[in-house]
Structure 1
Amino acid sequence: MKNSPSELPEETPFLKGPTSPAVDQDSVFGDNYLHSPKRSPCERCIPWLIHLLVLTVYTTIFILFWDHSQSRSCPRADGHEFPHTYSPASEALKWEVITFQNQLETSNPYKGPPRPELEEAWHNLLHPSAAIRVSKEALDRINRTSVELLDGSGYMVALDVYHQLHCLRWVRRYLHRDYYNMTEKNLGQHIDHCLDGLRQYVMCNADLALNTFDWIPNYPRPWPNFEVVHKCANWESIEEWALTHSFNGYDPDLISHPDYHPELPSPFNFTVSGNSP
């Protein structure tokens, strides 16, 4: 129950004029306040001016946050930032500092001659790469269309990082093409496509981390120190996101070409793809 004016303690004259009674907060913008005969027209404008000011502030804040979300920046190894194209996978980005171990003698599951351990490592690395499901809204953000899944659950995309890894595996297999029984028909334009795609990616990202040099006794020139510090995306986080949003890109219930002509040449034929040699 609300106190009557006579019951209010003396320290409650908040919003109270020199001669006016205390104003009930519930009626600040109601008839009792707006039509008070004791207030001049100028005084009656003050609440509306305050309201307009608050609305302007909130609108400005919203626009600033919206603009920031449209041009989010991606940290770089050199400490600078630059706008990047939208990707729903950005929500999985976690940054960490990693020292590359890339000495000539370094070994890891992805490096060295063909062997079962290497094949398994590369297979697992590329496993979620085939097909990722995204929404129509995600495609609208980049002003693109893509193949719609037949069950209406979304659209097919792939994270470009997996295409780059796919290309690296193709180049690696080319180095051991006899082992993989790869013919020139398998290679040719595909390898050239991959190498030039990787060139564009390296130039686009322009890693400015510093390579330092040392003297070693058995080499006459400064020897590069391949232990280079980089700011890297946490791969496990990206892989988890990709696995969560992946689907079987060979499932005919999800993907089916509406007008496939197998008699036509492969898309790696320059005349078909529209590229120039």
Structure 2
Amino acid sequence: MVNANPAAQAHQTDSLSALQDLKIQTKPKMSITTGQSPWVGEPGGPTDHAWHELVGNTSIRVTDEELSRNASDVCIDHCIEYLRQAVMCNPDTSLTTLVWTDNVPKPVLDVKPFERVCVDWELFMESVTPRVVPFDEVDSLVNPKL
């Protein structure tokens, strides 16, 4: 992933290096149009299932030692806010083009697939799964400061 902001690059590198057992690899991936995406569609059923599979393991277990290597606070925000930040902080600068068609007076988005470099999501999720903190475990925690 390319990020032109040196501070953001350093933070991202520190965060990833703190969790040394995570497996991060990139691989070429063909883009797909929204009509073929499992994350786009009416709420419920397959769409909800796809989103749950994608963001269901966002609360991961991190040791004090790993936090000290990163030296930052851990905060879990609402999923949408987290996704917004991911989009704004790591924008996809892949180029898309417009094309003229024979039956539309304005140019339309060229939806031909193109290749981009993405994290091998299955490998990443496989490596993070042992750290997942189940929601019922979080619910059962009692604040020792109260």
Q: CA deviation at 1:76?
A: 2.9
Q: Is 1:120–2:46 an aligned residue pair?
A: no
Distance 2:72 2:143 in 1: 19
Q: CA deviation at 1:89?
A: 6.3
Distance 1:240 1:102 in 2: 26
Distance 1:135 1:96 in 2: 29
* Alignment-derived partner of residue 142 in structure 1: 70
CA distances 1:218-266 after superposition (whole Å, capped 9, x unpaired):
2222222233432110111121122121122432797222356xxxxxx
After the TM superposition, which segments of 4 or more aligned residues of structure 1 sit over 4 Å from their partners?
A: none
Q: CA deviation at 1:95?
A: 0.4
* Alignment-derived partner of residue 244 in structure 1: 130
* Alignment-derived partner of residue 28 in structure 2: 97
* Alignment-derived partner of residue 144 in structure 2: 258
Code of the aligned partner of 2:63: S
* Alignment-derived partner of residue 231 in structure 1: 117
Q: CA deviation at 1:145?
A: 4.8
* Alignment-derived partner of residue 204 in structure 1: 89
Distance 1:144 1:101 in 2: 36
CA distances 1:122-151 after superposition (whole Å, capped 9, x unpaired):
22323222x2111222111221355xxxxx
CA gap 1:255/1:249 in 2 versus in 1, 3 angstroms: farther
CA gap 1:127/1:206 in 2 versus in 1, 3 angstroms: closer
Distance 2:105 2:20 in 1: 47
When normalised by structure 1's length, the TM-score is 0.41
Distance 1:229 1:133 in 2: 33
CA gap 1:228/1:235 in 2 versus in 1, 3 angstroms: same
Q: CA deviation at 1:215?
A: 1.7
Q: CA deviation at 1:93?
A: 0.7
Secondary structure of 2:137's counterpart equals coil
- Using CA pairs below 8 Å that are at least 6 residues apart, which structure has the higher relative contact order? 2
Q: Is 1:76–2:2 an aligned residue pair?
A: yes
Distance 1:240 1:220 in 2: 48
Is contact 1:134-1:245 (8 Å) kept?
A: yes
Distance 1:207 1:117 in 2: 26
Distance 1:90 1:76 in 2: 22
Is contact 2:21-2:127 (8 Å) kept?
A: no
CA gap 1:89/1:100 in 2 versus in 1, 3 angstroms: farther
CA gap 1:89/1:231 in 2 versus in 1, 3 angstroms: farther
Is contact 2:22-2:128 (8 Å) kept?
A: no
- Greater C-alpha radius of gyration: 1
Q: CA deviation at 1:108?
A: 3.5
User: Structure 1 unaligned runs (5+)?
Assistant: 1-74, 147-156, 168-193, 261-277
Q: Percent identity of the aligned residues?
A: 23
Aligned length: 137
Moved more, 212-221 or 245-254: 245-254
Q: Is 1:133–2:61 an aligned residue pair?
A: yes
Instruction: Calculate the aligned-residue CA RMSD, in Å.
Output: 3.3
Q: Is 1:222–2:107 an aligned residue pair?
A: yes
